[in-house]
Amino acid sequence: MAEDNPVLKVENLTKRYSGKEVLKDACLSVRQGEIKVLIGPSGAGKSTLLQCINFLVMPDKGRIWLEGQEILHSKKKELYAYRQKVGMIFQDFNLFDHLTALRNVEIGLVRVRAMGQADARERAMAELERVGLKDHVSKYPAQLSGGQKQRVSIARALAMDPKVMLLDEPTSALDPELITEVHAVIRSLGAEGMTMIMATHQIGFASDLADEIVFMENGAIVETGLPSKILSQAECARTREFCSKLTGLYGDSR
Ligand SMILES: Nc1ncnc2c1ncn2[C@@H]1O[C@H](COP(=O)(O)OP(=O)(O)OP(=O)(O)O)[C@@H](O)[C@H]1O
Ligand SMILES: [Mg+2]
């Protein structure tokens, strides 16, 4: 895809809760294979932006294009098709507790993509193997570590062949020793060319992985740029202040 043809483009996304704008005219685009990382203080609107991009939360204003096609979310069919192409990974995994890892991945393939049972099983196995869980496919979420659960949730998203993955603090609910394994999977997705938008507070990981870092505050995108620029030479004083604090706190959390 050409440089100026983004895979995903959002324009003027705005969301209000009880009359308060928590997302203000957010504009963003990602090219094929690009990784954008959202950073900013708690309450900045990072999750709201990701949720609005996926229409999990309906924006009050704004437009979204996927591969050049504007998404008309009021049309149910179009919305479902779009959601299949935009994978979402949550902090708390969002797995079905009564289903094994394998069934968790399989179920979308059968129910949403209408795949036959045998094909769905084969594909689900392949995706679980891709995230290093070949030996855990028959376990239920309660029998898996947090890192393993998050990898199941990544496998489930990958099984839908997403064009873009949205990741909302994918490792913030994990113990430090489990973070590395999930980071490794996300890194390998990046190396395979997956287009991603990820919110994280893990600045070391963000700076390693991101093509661009987007700093948000009070619902607005304040500044966007290369990690080297945003993290140490940001133009906006607020970005500099936030990044210097974050670098001090989480500098080595790769
Ligand atoms: N469902 C909701 N109802 C009312 N207010 C909400 C809702 N969801 C989010 N908000 C508010 O919107 C603002 C942005 O929240 P959001 O969760 O997007 O921030 P964030 O940048 O993801 O923060 P964090 O780093 O803590 O995850 C906050 O002030 C929050 O209280
Ligand atoms: Mg959040």
According to the model, what pLDDT value does residue 246 have? 76
Q: Separation of 124 CA from ligand 2 center, angstroms?
A: 29
Distances (CA, A) of 246 to 80, 82, 132, 231: 37, 34, 31, 9
How crowded is residue 230: how many other Cβ atoms within 10 Å of its Cβ? 28
Residue 111 Cα to chain centre, angstroms: 23
Q: Separation of 110 CA from ligand 2 center, angstroms?
A: 31
Report yes or no on 82 lying in a domain: no
> Are 106 and 2 members of one domain?
no
136 secondary structure, DSSP code: G
User: Which tens digit of pLDDT belongs to each residue from 5-42?
Assistant: 899 999 999 999 999 999 999 999 999 999 999 999 99
Report yes or no on 85 lying in a domain: no
User: Which tens digit of pLDDT belongs to each residue from 193-219?
Assistant: 999 999 999 988 999 999 999 999 999
> Are 173 and 228 members of one domain?
yes
> Are 38 and 12 members of one domain?
yes
119, 143, 161 - which closes a domain: 161
Q: Using 50, 70 and 90 to split pLDDT, how confident is the model at 75?
A: confident
Q: Separation of 198 CA from ligand 2 center, angstroms?
A: 10
Name the residue of 15, 42, 48, 250 to mutate for ligand 1: max ligand atoms within 8 A of Cβ.
48
Q: Using 50, 70 and 90 to split pLDDT, how confident is the model at 73?
A: confident
Question: In what side-by-side order are the strands of the sheet with 86-89?
Answer: 86-89, 164-168, 195-199, 35-39, 212-217, 220-225
Ligand 1 within 6 A of 48 CB? yes
Amino acid in the structure at residue 228? S
Rounded to two decimals, the pTM is 0.94
According to the model, what pLDDT value does residue 27 have? 98
> Are 142 and 60 members of one domain?
no
Domain range holding 138? 94-161
User: 3-state SS of the chain: helix, strand, coil percent to 5?
Assistant: 40, 25, 35
Span of 55-69, 71-85, 115-129, 134-148 with lowest mean pLDDT: 71-85
Average pLDDT over residues 146-159: 96
> Are 193 and 225 members of one domain?
yes
Amino acid in the structure at residue 103? R
Q: Separation of 172 CA from ligand 2 center, angstroms?
A: 10
> Are 98 and 223 members of one domain?
no
What domain count does the chain have?
2
Average pLDDT over residues 124-131: 96
Closest ligand 1 atom to 43 CA: 19
Ligand 1: residue whose CA is nearest its atom 3 = 17
User: Which tens digit of pLDDT belongs to each residue from 94-118?
Assistant: 999 999 999 999 999 999 889 999 9
Report yes or no on 65 lying in a domain: yes
146 near 25, Cβ under 8 Å? no
> Are 149 and 200 members of one domain?
no
pLDDT of 249 above 60: no
